[in-house]
Structure 1
Amino acid sequence: MSDPAPGRRLERSLVAVALGMAVVGSVGAPLITSVATSTGVSLAAAQWTLTVTLFTGAIASPVLGRLGAGSRRRATVLLGISAVVVGGVLTALPWGFALLLVGRGLQGLGLGVGALLMGIARDRLPADRAASTIGTLAVASTVGIGVGYPFVGLVDQLAGLRAAYGVGLFLALAALLVAWRTLPPDTPGPSARVDVAGAALLGTGTAGVLLLVAAPGVWSAPRRGLALLVGAVVALGAWVAVELRAEAPLVDLRVVGRGPVVRANAATLVLGVAMYLLFSLLTRYAQTPASAGYGFGLSGVAAGAALIPFSVLGFAAGRLVPCSVRRAGARGTFAVGLLAVAAAAALLAVAPGTPAVLLAAMAVLGLGVGGVSAVMPQLSLVGVPVSETASVLSVSQVVRAVGFSMGSALAGALLAAATPTGALVPPEHGYVTAALWGLPLVALSALPLLARRRRPRSVRAG
């Protein structure tokens, strides 16, 4: 007897793999302090266990997206997850800080797997199920943060750093097994060619941009920061020139340059800044010691547990998006998500000192992030051929990563500017001021997708 619901089994498998990769990607954040104390490096150096994952993910995403646009999509997914498994081995074994960084870099390839999974969903599932599944896959990173932070922090507290990284290894192995058993086989056909020159130029330019926004300390020597900025701009400019002339470009800029895709990516960038600005402020406020006159002094584990409402509401929003799109349209659903993000900023600015308000702001932010993340692929894929799904969404992943890095850096800069000389933490009004920055950012992110298009005037006869 044939299986009555193979599509649903594939849908569950795609979501399970995406969630596993999201948790692995978030493993580094709650372990930064533990890395510093366990390996004897500074906190600034330990921060690279998170930053390097973002770097490699941003660079690898377009390459994996192009490989997945050919006939080897399953093989590409398995290759990406296998690299994450190797990275997990390097992080779980006590081989020193250098190999730990290499392992975390390999784990960044998991960030590029998400776009491939969305491509499989769009290609292999019925249209209605595909839209719902893609939305759920898009919010996997939101859910992964809320699941990964408290659990990994607890394991670190009870069993140590390497055991906590072992959680990432276990999840990667589980994801590899699920993908190997359930992903549809590759179809015969030509394999996609990777534009090596384009990949090198995009990787160089993207790495430069991410370094500028994720490690603002490079600007301590202005000439060095300016040289890095110029180098990144030149590399990205050269990449555009190469891609427009390549027979098999890494990213089809003629597709990515279409109006709907450009507008969606512009909104993704600005809203990514706003979302991660607020996320950083909320988590830092919760961990500020009460001796500062505000804050709750939560431990890493407790602060991670405070993210559970963020993840639960984010996942719920993702599941409700298909129904919302049917009723209000994709742009209307996007507008509702923006309002939720703006409400979270307002809550943090108005009454941050109340635990209930802080948790409410975290939950409302999760609702907004989940809703926007789930509907954004629909807005990005307007008019995009099915064969280019993974490639286009991989570019969106890079844009989102840059936005998140800018939001994190902006939060740090605003709080640093509000901190008096000699003080360890800023006064409470520093958080209020920083949270208010989220409101114009949300409004700015609405312009590309919600601004009314000017229609040509009709010409009267005679």
Structure 2
Amino acid sequence: MEQRQETGGPDGRQRVSRTAAERPENSSVLLVPSLVFIALVVAAVGSLGAPLITSVATTLHVSLASAQWTLTITLLTGAIATPVLGRLGAGPHRRGTILVTLGVVVAGSVLTALPLPFAWLLVGRAAQGVGLGLTALMMGVARDHLPEDRAVSTIALVSVASTIGIGVGYPLAGLLTELGGLRAAYGLGVVVTAVALVAALRSMPVPPEGRSARVDVPGALLLAAGLLLVLLLASETSLWNRHLGLAVALAVVAVLLLGVWTAYERHAKAPLVDVRLIRHPAVAGANAAMFVGGIGMYLLVTLITRYAQTPHGAGYGFGLSTFVAGLVLVPFSLMGFVSGKLTPRLRDRIGGPALLAATAIVVLGAFALFAVARSNLTAVLVSMAILGFGVGSFSAAMPAVILAVTPKSETSSAMSFNQVVRSVGFSIGSAVGGLMLAAGTPAGELFPTDDAYTSAACIGMAAMAVTAITCITLARRPGPRNDTGTTPGARRPEDHAGSGHR
């Protein structure tokens, strides 16, 4: 029941004022659709860079390596912004943080759509990448302001939306590029992000009282520096081919920075991420599965889209245009949404960790089908559909495993770390695909051999096997208990005070 406070007016009569937890009825109705829509939009806008790399190079007369930065810079700013936004989202300024972040994304979208020089396009793409950190905040809002059963299903949908948004952005970007050119494709981002901002204005509630607003600035800088190097090494695969010594040195520095960050966070009074929480066996196992699984999942997306666009002259492939190749991702998105809806029921029956293991095996099956039957377009589409089903179910099951041992007040922070792990895994998966195909390209040729795809698919199957084993190990552990010694369904005293249902 919502709480009202009686206050005295200047005329001596009692007036009723809304408390921070109360929202208009229409905003309550809009809350769940808005949370899912915002997660879908920021994911779709973030993925716009991938199908437009060639168009950027030809339209703005820059090299393909330079055009690649329209995707790289988005991933970099997203990974850096995610833990910071996660901590801000755990405090009393979550609504303002969401609105300001969406405002930044809208401004960035405008910069990408205007006919400005390439440097401004990069600035716009960087601003759009900040929005990738909003997914964890959407989960925090759901957990604070919805009944428990509805919150669980909504968080699962938000997680799925943040993944299948990749498949939504690809075909739309390709179609708009063919119809109206590069800027028309980026113009899509302006429209959908503006709608997302309006939806947030209408529906986002203020968070419960009693939350800390402090942000660990030194911790944020250390983590940002480490992630910057990790994602740079994952995105710039040419470093490993041409400057192996420099790449190894940067990798060592990245590991050192992340090690220092971990040690610092353990003793910080207001840590950016609660390291004690992410060291919990259930959370650590889930994040490890997300990292390795993310590598495998995005590797297959990379392989299929590259294979579909390879011209017949290479001896394989289908020679699809950017738009038609983007349509190959439609089965991915559709089956991802279907599996996301089914996952809560399956999770109730077999448990989250066991479901994660099962979906990892499903993705392994998609790799196997692609490895042996990719010469037929139908088989490739089926592989993509199976991948979408597995990825959607994996994404929907993951939050429940982590949140079962996470205090409500730490939802945004815990899930933001998981989102960072996922982003790094996706980036490394894309890099592994590029490196494997580059290694399988004969000297003087433009395209890799068909066998290079088989080798890369085998790497992906190995990654998913490791993911499945990790999840099976996690499933065999005793039922999780959170850091307060209570069972997953129990609440801490402060969670009662700030539940949003008063």
Q: How does 1:309-324 map to 2 (within 5 A)?
A: 309-324=331-346
Amino acid at match of 2:380: L
- Partner of residue 57, structure 2: 36
Question: Does residue 176 of structure 1 match 2:197?
Answer: yes
Amino acid at match of 2:206: P
1:214 and 1:4 map into 2 onto residues whose CA distance is: 46
- Partner of residue 328, structure 1: 350
Q: 1:436 to 1:222 in 2, by over 3 A?
A: closer
1:282 and 1:174 map into 2 onto residues whose CA distance is: 32
Does the Cα contact within 8 Å between 1:307 and 1:362 map onto a contact in 2?
yes
Deviations along 1:94-122, one digit per CA (max 9) or x if unpaired, are 22111111110111111100000001111
Q: How does 1:54-93 map to 2 (within 5 A)?
A: 54-93=75-114
Does the Cα contact within 8 Å between 2:287 and 2:421 map onto a contact in 1?
yes
2:277 and 2:326 map into 1 onto residues whose CA distance is: 40
- Equivalent of residue 252 in structure 1, options 274, 294, 297: 274
- Partner of residue 19, structure 1: 40
Which residues of structure 2 form unaligned runs of 5+? 1-22, 479-502
Q: How does 1:234-383 map to 2 (within 5 A)?
A: 234-383=256-405
Question: Does residue 143 of structure 1 match 2:164?
Answer: yes
Task: Count how many residue pairs are aligned between Structure 1 and Structure 2.
Answer: 454
Compare 128-137 and 446-455 and name the one that shifted more. Answer: 446-455
2:211 and 2:460 map into 1 onto residues whose CA distance is: 47
- Partner of residue 111, structure 1: 132
- Partner of residue 464, structure 2: 442
- Equivalent of residue 433 in structure 1, options 455, 472, 481: 455
1:240 and 1:12 map into 2 onto residues whose CA distance is: 36
Amino acid at match of 2:296: A
Report how far residue 448 of structure 1 moved.
Answer: 2.5
- Partner of residue 156, structure 1: 177
1:156 and 1:5 map into 2 onto residues whose CA distance is: 37
Report how far residue 453 of structure 1 moved.
Answer: 4.5
Question: Does residue 133 of structure 1 match 2:158?
Answer: no
Report how far residue 370 of structure 1 moved.
Answer: 0.4
1:236 and 1:3 map into 2 onto residues whose CA distance is: 44
- Equivalent of residue 423 in structure 2, options 401, 405, 412: 401
- Partner of residue 167, structure 1: 188
Report how far residue 224 of structure 1 moved.
Answer: 2.0
- Corresponding residue SS for 1:421: coil
Q: Percent identity?
A: 53
- Using the size of structure 1 for normalisation, the TM-score is 0.95
Deviations along 1:132-159, one digit per CA (max 9) or x if unpaired, are 1111111113321222111111111111
Deviations along 1:336-377, one digit per CA (max 9) or x if unpaired, are 211210110011011110111010001000000000011011
Report how far residue 415 of structure 1 moved.
Answer: 1.3
Does the Cα contact within 8 Å between 1:261 and 1:382 map onto a contact in 2?
no
Does the Cα contact within 8 Å between 1:139 and 1:373 map onto a contact in 2?
yes
Report how far residue 381 of structure 1 moved.
Answer: 1.9
1:273 and 1:187 map into 2 onto residues whose CA distance is: 36
1:145 and 1:40 map into 2 onto residues whose CA distance is: 26
Does the Cα contact within 8 Å between 1:273 and 1:405 map onto a contact in 2?
yes
1:188 and 1:338 map into 2 onto residues whose CA distance is: 39
Amino acid at match of 2:292: V
2:263 and 2:89 map into 1 onto residues whose CA distance is: 23
Q: 1:454 to 1:18 in 2, by over 3 A?
A: closer
1:78 and 1:72 map into 2 onto residues whose CA distance is: 10
Does the Cα contact within 8 Å between 1:281 and 1:431 map onto a contact in 2?
yes
RMSD: 1.7
Does the Cα contact within 8 Å between 1:7 and 1:125 map onto a contact in 2?
no
2:144 and 2:66 map into 1 onto residues whose CA distance is: 42
Amino acid at match of 2:469: L
- Equivalent of residue 121 in structure 1, options 126, 142, 145: 142
- Corresponding residue SS for 2:52: helix
Report how far residue 257 of structure 1 moved.
Answer: 1.3
Does the Cα contact within 8 Å between 2:90 and 2:211 map onto a contact in 1?
no
Report how far residue 189 of structure 1 moved.
Answer: 4.3
- Partner of residue 51, structure 1: 72
- Partner of residue 459, structure 1: none
- Partner of residue 201, structure 1: 222
Does the Cα contact within 8 Å between 1:272 and 1:403 map onto a contact in 2?
yes
1:363 and 1:333 map into 2 onto residues whose CA distance is: 18
- Partner of residue 458, structure 1: none
